[in-house]
Structure 1
Amino acid sequence: MSEWISQWVINTMSSMGYLGIGLLMFLENLFPPIPSELIMPFAGFTVSQGKMEFIPAVAAGVVGTVLGAFPWYYAGKFIGEPRLRDLADRYGRWLTISGKDIDKANSWFTRHEGKAVFVCRLVPGVRTLISLPAGIAAMPLIPFILYSTAGTTLWVTFLTFLGYKLGEHYDKVDEWLGPLSKYVIIGLAIAFGLWVWKRKQSRSRKRRNLH
């Protein structure tokens, strides 16, 4: 975490109060380098100092996060499954991804959309990304908001509580959880790479069997 981002987060929240929490959590969904793991623990520290109230601080964080999910959700709706399927058929050959794969992925998300949104809202590294497939799969807006709000409330409350308990050591939360986001992203990248490799191997075997 760069020092200037940390200082900007602190200054914004100190000068704008609850509105600053909401604004920062909104931006955190758009620009991942701004971490909730710093914003909400600092809010908890501020609560421990008697300068804020716990529930309004959590509410501000939840509202900001849910509002910040809308741009990615609507970006996914704009892309849409048909357009994504068409792009996969045109340009996905080098990754061995086809329109049928997009259909399968969309079918899986449709079966688990509520649980997927709720659980991913609790996972660093993918919290902000889950809104995109929700939009692509055309998940109904009301369930999307409800599941996003439920998962976000647990996450934001947890971070705020940690900051409240740690007091002036609130920045330890980012030190503990920050690397977890990187591991999650690396793990997803490795899993995707293995999936692509297995598909290429499978297609190669099919071609050899045909000959």
Structure 2
Amino acid sequence: MTASAAPPATTGELTGVAGWAVGLMESLGGPGAALVVGLDNLFPPLPSELVLPLAGFAAGRGMFSLTAALFWTTLGSVAGAVVVYVLGALLGHDRTRRLAGRIPLVGTADYDRTAAWFARHGGKAVFFGRMIPVFRSLVSVPAGVERMPFGRFLLFTTAGSLIWNTGFVVAGYLLGENWALVERYATAFQYVVVAAVAAAAGLFVARRIKAR
């Protein structure tokens, strides 16, 4: 008599966001993984560092194949990024420039320099931004505001998302029940990024106050 295969994970085994995400993947399969990952672009508190290893874990439990996990999570990442890109495009360059001019210690000249930098390095910013916590959700905004050619935006977003997703999904797939180790180390990296951004912002403010 042969041993039966391990049953798929159930939401009872996991709680909170993890339980909700796995439950959605159980109900909808690959499209559920795409939906969860896509929401990461719209709601940064739902981190891809948690969701992607879970998708790999779900694939390891037989909910869908590893290839399907990579396809659907990348599709979700791209779809979410496109929504943010469209929102940025609706906001537009001129309106964003006016808003920047109203921010204390920031002027339209700062915005103009940033826009000029993005015009030169936008492709790299989108590609590498898809692999940096926090910036993953934000980099699509300037791409839309500055009306980066949509085909170019789609190419760099897909490439960056595929690389990022593959690392986390495969790690979750290989680690199985220990998938949370991936999220733990990724969260530590995210803290480093947030601390660096906060330090840079503090330095910017200090210099502006000193200049005035």
TM-score, normalised to structure 1, is 0.88
Q: 1:46, CA displacement in angstroms?
A: 2.5
Which of 118, 123, 131 does residue 109 from structure 1 map onto? 118
Please report the RMSD computed on the Cα atoms of aligned residues, expressed in angstroms: 1.6
How do 1:31-180 and structure 2 match up within 5 A?
Answer: 31-89=43-101, 91-92=102-103, 94=104, 96-180=105-189
Q: Any idea what SS the aligned residue of 2:87 has?
A: helix
Q: SS of 1:127's equivalent?
A: helix
> In the alignment, which residue of structure 1 is the partner of 2:7?
none
Give the AA of the match of 2:84. W
Q: Does 1:186 align with 2:195?
A: yes
After superposition, give the CA deviation of every residue in 1:53-95 in whole Å (9 maximum; x if it has no partner): 1111101001011000122212211222211222233x22x2x
Q: Distance in 2 between matches of 1:65 and 1:56?
A: 14
Distance 1:70 1:46 in 2: 26
Superposed CA deviations along residues 122-166 of structure 1, whole A, max 9, x for unmatched, are 112211110011111211111001000000000111111101111
Residue type matched to 1:28 in 2?
D
Match of 1:105, SS state, is helix
Asked if structure 1 preserves the Cα contact closer than 8 Å seen for 2:26 and 2:63, the reply is no
Q: Does 1:200 align with 2:209?
A: yes
The letter for the 1-side match of 2:159 is A
Q: Which moved more, 1:65-74 or 1:190-199?
A: 190-199
1:26 aligns with 2:38: yes
Partner of 2:26: 14
1:185 CA drift (Å): 2.3
Gaps of 5+ in 1: 205-211
| Fraction of identical pairs, as percent | 37
Matched letter for residue 187 of structure 2: G
Say whether the 8 Å CA contact 2:130–2:136 is kept in structure 1: yes
Distance in 2, matches of 1:51 and 1:86, equals 49
Deviations 1:8-55 (A, max 9, x none): 111111221101111101111111122212222122123223442111
Distance of 1:135 and 1:31 partners within structure 2: 18
**Gaps (5+ residues) in structure 2?**
1-13
DSSP 3-state at the match of 1:172: helix
Task: Please identify runs of 4+ aligned residues in structure 1 that moved more than 3 A.
Answer: none
Question: Residue in 2 aligned with 1:5?
Answer: 17
Contact 1:81/1:136 (8 A) holds in 2? yes
